Amino acid sequence: WHHIDIMDGVFVPNISFGMPVLKAISVHATKTLDVHLMIVDPDRYIKTFANLGADRLTVHYEACPHLHRTLQAIKAEGMLAGVALNPHTNVSLLEDTINDIDLVCVMSVNPGFGGQSFIENTYDKVKALKALIERKGAKTLIEIDGGVSSENAKQLVEAGANVLVAGSFIFKSNQPKQTIEELKKIIA
């Protein structure tokens, strides 16, 4: 699927794609649109992003004072609900909501800029999240976002990751299609 970051320059220091770009992508997309909101007050925009074609909407735990209500609002609009965790946020904070979450996006860099170095304690965080999901009997997927490369992809999947976001690794490659195929072989 396609992972699209939406940044507002407030929650994170960078600005990225806006709503018109997402709409243009959704008109032509043939794969799932996984929209990752790195914005303040994401609740205000849930209906808007549903109307723009998002299939999966991920909000940051740190931006949602009423996470359960936010998750329910996302699902009420027909989207799958995701929660992103910044590197310093403990997975145990999802204990009460994990069964309502379709995907947890573990940030393995500080959000807002591409090309950062992978934060090594991500492996332990993924293992802890996988244990929580299994203990609660949830069907939640684990997505890793940031610093993903051929050097850490296999270990991330072994730790419990289901989805890898490898934007900088792929787009900085001279041969993006070959790089994608290389990643697929590594994690197969």
Concatenate the DSSP letters of all residues of 56-114 into one string. EEEEEGGG-TTHHHHHHHHHHTT-EEEEEE-TTS-GGGGTTTGGG-SEEEEESS-TT-S
Specify the amino acid at residue 117: S
- Contact between 153 and 166 under an 8 Å Cβ cutoff? The reply is yes
Instruction: Work out the angle at residue 154's Cα, subtended by the Cα atoms of residues 151 and 157, and round it to the nearest 5 degrees.
Output: 135
User: What pLDDT is attached to residue 117?
Assistant: 87
- Check residue 121 and report its DSSP letter: T
Percent of the chain residues topping a pLDDT of 90: 84
Query: What's the fold here for domain 2-187?
Result: TIM Barrel (3.20.20)
Looking at the predicted structure, is the pLDDT value of residue 103 above 90?
yes
User: What pLDDT is attached to residue 16?
Assistant: 85
Q: Is 105 exposed, middle or buried (0-12, 13-18, 19+ CB in 10 A)?
A: buried
- Residue whose entry in the numeric block shows the structure tokens 């965790």: 85
User: What pLDDT is attached to residue 101?
Assistant: 99
Looking at the predicted structure, is the pLDDT value of residue 140 above 90?
yes
Looking at the predicted structure, is the pLDDT value of residue 182 above 90?
yes
2-7 and 163-165 as β-strands: parallel, antiparallel, unpaired? unpaired
Q: What is this structure's pTM? A: 0.93
What band does 131 get if pLDDT is binned at 50, 70 and 90?
Answer: very high
What band does 138 get if pLDDT is binned at 50, 70 and 90?
Answer: very high
Summarised one tens digit per residue, pLDDT across range 6-32 is 999 899 988 887 888 899 999 999 899
Closest CA to 81 of 91, 69, 95: 69
- Contact between 27 and 45 under an 8 Å Cβ cutoff? The reply is no
Closest CA to 186 of 159, 160, 149, 161: 149
Tell me the residue length of the chain.
Answer: 188
Q: Which residues are catalytic?
A: 5, 145
Instruction: Work out the angle at residue 130's Cα, subtended by the Cα atoms of residues 104 and 98, and round it to the nearest 5 degrees.
Output: 50
Summarised one tens digit per residue, pLDDT across range 16-74 is 878 888 999 999 998 999 999 999 999 999 999 999 999 999 999 999 999 999 999 99
What band does 155 get if pLDDT is binned at 50, 70 and 90?
Answer: very high
